[in-house]
Amino acid sequence: MLWITTDTPPADAAPSDCPDLNVVAVPGTWETSRDDPSQGMLSLVTRGLPGTVRTDYVSYAATALPWEGEVYGRSKREGVDNARKMIAGMAARCSATRFALIGYSQGADAAGDLAAEIGTGLGVVSPDRVAAVGLLSDPRRSLNDALIGPPVPGAGAGGARVGGFGFLSSKVRTFCVEGDLYCSVPNDDLAGRFAGFFTQLSAPDPLQAGNYVMSLQSILTEALFPGITGILAAPADDPAGEQWVRQVQEFLVSGAHQKYPTYVVDENGTTATTWLRNWLVDIAAENP
């Protein structure tokens, strides 16, 4: 089974039954999309959307470590492939339906890659059929992406996407909690950036070769010298490696990666998940 859907019309439905907007949601790591993805972070975004909207949750491994079933790179690629097939199927059946891509964590990584594919003219639909892309904790967040909420240092741990989102750039909104190392790694954090880079390389995708080269060049240019300097300057009783391990432990304890339902992103007190849901409601009300 490639996906789990809500409000799914029959396969032979007439075009009049096609949704105005199809929200394709890619859950995050360990949100066990093969069981019930609609119970994860994105459920706070998709619950109660207008009747003209259909929500489909992409099913994929959503794992990161080999003993869980699939390494991160292979798991993410499965998410991209399944989301792509879902959009292609709906687009072929419903010529007027628009799409919104949303994702959280590893799901934001996958949804963002698919959006970049579509936005640069290599996707299964033309960019004008995608109305919105919303990414919560995107590991490939770029400084050029439209960030909703307070500024955060650095960019995503996995490195920016070559070419960005192309024709979809104006339709992308990204969210990143301060202290979330998935989407906010300081430029000079050598260990953090190499960790993100090798996570992306855990199952290399030939289509992402340009991204890998750009990410490595960026690390060597921005982080290598400061990182080595920091390692050499670290005191003997608190070496750089131990400092980085402590940083990761503090991140895990902080729960920053799970704070999006309470993370305020505007002066009205709107949280990240609520802002994204409201945006989708507004998109659904627009005439294409």
Rg of the chain on CA atoms, in Å: 19
pLDDT tens string, the chain, 288 residues long: the values are 444 444 444 444 446 689 999 999 999 877 754 545 556 899 999 999 999 999 999 988 877 554 345 677 788 889 999 999 999 999 999 999 999 999 998 899 999 999 999 999 999 999 999 999 999 999 899 999 999 999 998 888 877 888 899 999 999 999 999 888 888 877 555 344 434 443 444 444 555 555 544 544 544 444 333 433 343 344 444 434 444 444 544 544 557 788 999 999 999 999 999 999 999 999 999 866
What pTM value is reported for the model?
0.75
Q: Domain segments of the chain: what residues?
A: 3-185+256-285
Confidence (pLDDT) at 158: 79
Confidence (pLDDT) at 23: 97
Question: pLDDT tens digits, residue range 171-196?
Answer: 999 999 988 888 887 755 534 443 44
Confidence (pLDDT) at 107: 94
Kind plus residue range of the DSSP H or E element containing 228: helix 224-233
Per CATH, the homologous superfamily of domain 3-185+256-285 is Alpha/Beta hydrolase fold, catalytic domain (3.40.50.1820)
Q: What distances in angstroms separate CA 265 from CA 40, 67, 145, 149, one per listed residue?
A: 20, 37, 15, 4
**Which tokens go with 77?**
């690629």
User: Going by C-beta distance under 8 Å and a sequence separation of 6 or more, which residues neighbour residue 178?
Assistant: 150, 152, 184, 256
The CA distance from 47 to 50, in Å, is 9
Confidence (pLDDT) at 244: 45
User: Going by C-beta distance under 8 Å and a sequence separation of 6 or more, which residues neighbour residue 165?
Assistant: 112, 115, 116, 119, 120, 133, 145, 171, 172
Confidence (pLDDT) at 99: 98
Confidence (pLDDT) at 227: 38
Confidence (pLDDT) at 29: 78
Confidence (pLDDT) at 219: 40
Confidence (pLDDT) at 148: 98
